[in-house]
Amino acid sequence: MNSIAKRYPHFVALDGDTVIGWCDVLPVDLRPIRAHTGMLGIGVLAQQRGRGIGSALLRKTLSEARRFGFTRVELAYRAGNARVDGLYERIGFVREGMQRNAVRVDGRYEDVVCMALLMEEDTR
Protein backbone atom coordinates (compact mmCIF):
# COMPACT_ATOMS: atom_id res chain seq x y z
CA MET A 1 0.00 0.00 0.00
CA ASN A 2 1.36 3.41 -0.93
CA SER A 3 -0.11 5.60 1.81
CA ILE A 4 1.27 8.81 0.30
CA ALA A 5 -0.29 8.15 -3.11
CA LYS A 6 -3.59 7.27 -1.44
CA ARG A 7 -3.33 10.51 0.59
CA TYR A 8 -3.87 8.87 3.98
CA PRO A 9 -3.22 11.29 6.87
CA HIS A 10 0.51 11.30 7.62
CA PHE A 11 2.63 14.00 9.25
CA VAL A 12 6.21 14.30 10.47
CA ALA A 13 7.93 16.64 12.91
CA LEU A 14 11.33 17.96 11.87
CA ASP A 15 14.26 19.45 13.71
CA GLY A 16 16.10 20.99 10.79
CA ASP A 17 16.38 18.14 8.29
CA THR A 18 15.95 15.41 10.92
CA VAL A 19 12.66 13.61 11.45
CA ILE A 20 12.01 13.56 15.20
CA GLY A 21 8.42 12.33 15.14
CA TRP A 22 5.69 10.97 12.91
CA CYS A 23 1.97 10.21 13.08
CA ASP A 24 -0.42 8.57 10.63
CA VAL A 25 -3.86 7.01 10.34
CA LEU A 26 -4.17 4.08 7.96
CA PRO A 27 -7.24 2.00 7.11
CA VAL A 28 -7.87 -1.00 9.34
CA ASP A 29 -9.55 -2.85 6.50
CA LEU A 30 -10.44 -1.90 2.93
CA ARG A 31 -13.78 -3.71 2.94
CA PRO A 32 -16.77 -1.32 3.00
CA ILE A 33 -17.96 -2.48 6.46
CA ARG A 34 -14.71 -1.22 8.06
CA ALA A 35 -13.72 1.56 5.64
CA HIS A 36 -14.69 4.21 8.23
CA THR A 37 -12.06 2.93 10.70
CA GLY A 38 -8.41 3.91 10.79
CA MET A 39 -5.48 2.74 12.94
CA LEU A 40 -3.30 5.39 14.54
CA GLY A 41 0.46 5.07 14.48
CA ILE A 42 2.74 7.54 16.24
CA GLY A 43 6.34 7.81 17.34
CA VAL A 44 8.58 10.52 18.79
CA LEU A 45 12.30 10.11 19.38
CA ALA A 46 12.97 9.41 23.07
CA GLN A 47 15.13 12.51 23.54
CA GLN A 48 12.34 14.70 22.08
CA ARG A 49 9.48 13.45 24.27
CA GLY A 50 7.75 15.70 26.77
CA ARG A 51 7.94 18.77 24.54
CA GLY A 52 4.41 18.61 23.05
CA ILE A 53 5.54 17.15 19.72
CA GLY A 54 3.40 14.02 20.02
CA SER A 55 0.35 16.00 21.05
CA ALA A 56 0.73 18.42 18.13
CA LEU A 57 1.25 15.56 15.65
CA LEU A 58 -1.73 13.71 17.07
CA ARG A 59 -4.10 16.67 16.86
CA LYS A 60 -3.06 17.56 13.29
CA THR A 61 -3.28 13.95 12.11
CA LEU A 62 -6.70 13.38 13.71
CA SER A 63 -8.01 16.58 12.14
CA GLU A 64 -6.87 15.34 8.74
CA ALA A 65 -8.28 11.84 9.45
CA ARG A 66 -11.69 13.40 10.10
CA ARG A 67 -11.44 15.38 6.84
CA PHE A 68 -10.35 12.23 5.03
CA GLY A 69 -13.55 10.48 6.17
CA PHE A 70 -12.47 8.28 9.07
CA THR A 71 -15.13 8.35 11.79
CA ARG A 72 -13.43 5.88 14.12
CA VAL A 73 -9.72 5.81 14.94
CA GLU A 74 -8.25 2.91 16.89
CA LEU A 75 -4.89 2.57 18.60
CA ALA A 76 -3.00 0.01 20.64
CA TYR A 77 -0.02 0.43 22.94
CA ARG A 78 1.93 -1.62 25.45
CA ALA A 79 0.37 -1.55 28.91
CA GLY A 80 2.26 0.36 31.56
CA ASN A 81 2.96 3.40 29.40
CA ALA A 82 1.16 5.96 31.59
CA ARG A 83 2.48 8.91 29.58
CA VAL A 84 0.65 7.96 26.38
CA ASP A 85 -2.43 6.74 28.25
CA GLY A 86 -2.95 10.23 29.66
CA LEU A 87 -2.28 11.88 26.31
CA TYR A 88 -4.79 9.69 24.47
CA GLU A 89 -7.46 10.23 27.13
CA ARG A 90 -6.99 14.03 26.98
CA ILE A 91 -7.52 13.87 23.21
CA GLY A 92 -10.77 11.90 23.72
CA PHE A 93 -9.79 8.26 23.18
CA VAL A 94 -11.68 5.73 25.30
CA ARG A 95 -10.20 2.48 26.55
CA GLU A 96 -12.02 -0.46 24.99
CA GLY A 97 -10.04 -3.38 26.28
CA MET A 98 -6.77 -5.18 26.73
CA GLN A 99 -5.11 -7.97 24.81
CA ARG A 100 -3.24 -10.18 27.26
CA ASN A 101 0.29 -11.29 26.32
CA ALA A 102 -0.21 -9.68 22.92
CA VAL A 103 3.43 -8.79 22.30
CA ARG A 104 6.75 -10.32 23.26
CA VAL A 105 9.64 -7.94 23.91
CA ASP A 106 13.08 -9.20 24.95
CA GLY A 107 11.58 -12.59 25.77
CA ARG A 108 8.83 -11.16 28.01
CA TYR A 109 5.13 -11.03 27.19
CA GLU A 110 3.33 -7.74 27.62
CA ASP A 111 -0.33 -6.77 27.48
CA VAL A 112 -1.60 -4.29 24.90
CA VAL A 113 -4.20 -1.62 25.70
CA CYS A 114 -6.79 -0.91 22.98
CA MET A 115 -8.47 2.50 22.68
CA ALA A 116 -10.67 4.22 20.12
CA LEU A 117 -11.92 7.69 19.29
CA LEU A 118 -15.33 8.15 17.68
CA MET A 119 -15.34 11.28 15.58
CA GLU A 120 -19.05 11.50 14.78
CA GLU A 121 -21.54 13.43 16.88
CA ASP A 122 -24.18 10.66 16.69
CA THR A 123 -22.67 7.17 16.61
CA ARG A 124 -25.97 5.26 16.56
Is the pLDDT at 122 greater than 50? The verdict is no
Q: For the CA atoms of the chain, what is the radius of gyration? A: 15
Q: What is the mean pLDDT of residues 58-75?
A: 96
pLDDT category of residue 114 using cuts at 50, 70 and 90:
very high
Q: Select the CATH number that applies to the domain covering 10-118 from these four: 3.40.630.30, 3.40.50.620, 3.10.129.10, 3.40.50.720.
A: 3.40.630.30
Is the pLDDT at 82 greater than 50? The verdict is yes
pLDDT at 124: 37
Sign, Cα dihedral of 67, 68, 73, 77: negative
Is the pLDDT at 75 greater than 70? The verdict is yes
- Kindly list the distances between the CA atom of residue 25 and the CA atoms of 4, 36, 62, 85, in Å, as whole numbers in the listed order: 11, 11, 8, 18
Q: pTM for this structure?
A: 0.89
